[in-house]
Amino acid sequence: MKIEKLVKNKDLKLTHARVEILEKLFDANKPLSYDDIKNDISMDKATFYRNVAKFEEKMIVRSFESNDKKRYFEVSKIPHPHFICNQCNKIDCIKEPLNLNLEGYIIENIILKGICQKCNQI
């Protein structure tokens, strides 16, 4: 299984909670908050956050905070920017490459904020 190999390669113990979290994040097509998956996992909030903190430390998962003050998580695949709508708080993964090159900097995350296409049509 992909998750088992990933966890073991990062020198982490494979636990049921870790598998559950990673399955949800791998299956998602967008970043997820704890509130998005809390009804689909069998652990409390503290266990969830303790595990995702360990995943972030091992660079398995990336996270960011949105306008709604929630932390969103996704599996660290190819780094890409996110767009957060200031009206509806929807988060979109931006597929188009942004050619941003800052000499001497390593960019780990780009968050764009504005009005999404749907809210812009209203």
Mean pLDDT of the chain: 92
Say if residue 69 is in the same domain as residue 91.
Answer: no
Which is more confidently placed, 26 or 97? 26
Which is more confidently placed, 2 or 84? 84
Say if residue 62 is in the same domain as residue 104.
Answer: no
Segment 90-117 shows an average pLDDT of: 88
The residues near 38 (Cβ < 8 Å, ≥ 6 apart) are: 45, 48
One-letter identity of residue 75: V
Say if residue 10 is in the same domain as residue 62.
Answer: yes
Q: Looking at the 3D structure of the chain, how many domains does it have?
A: 2
Say if residue 61 is in the same domain as residue 116.
Answer: no
Print the domain residue range for 13. 2-75
Residue 1 has pLDDT above 70, yes or no: no
Say what the alpha-carbon torsion angle 86, 88, 89, 90 is, to the nearest 10 degrees: -120
Say if residue 19 is in the same domain as residue 55.
Answer: yes
Q: What is the pLDDT of residue 108?
A: 80
Residue 77 has pLDDT above 90, yes or no: no
Residue 98 has pLDDT above 90, yes or no: no
Percentage of the chain lying above the pLDDT 90 cut? 79
pLDDT digits (tens, 9 = 90+) for 7-44: 999 999 999 999 999 999 999 989 999 999 999 999 99
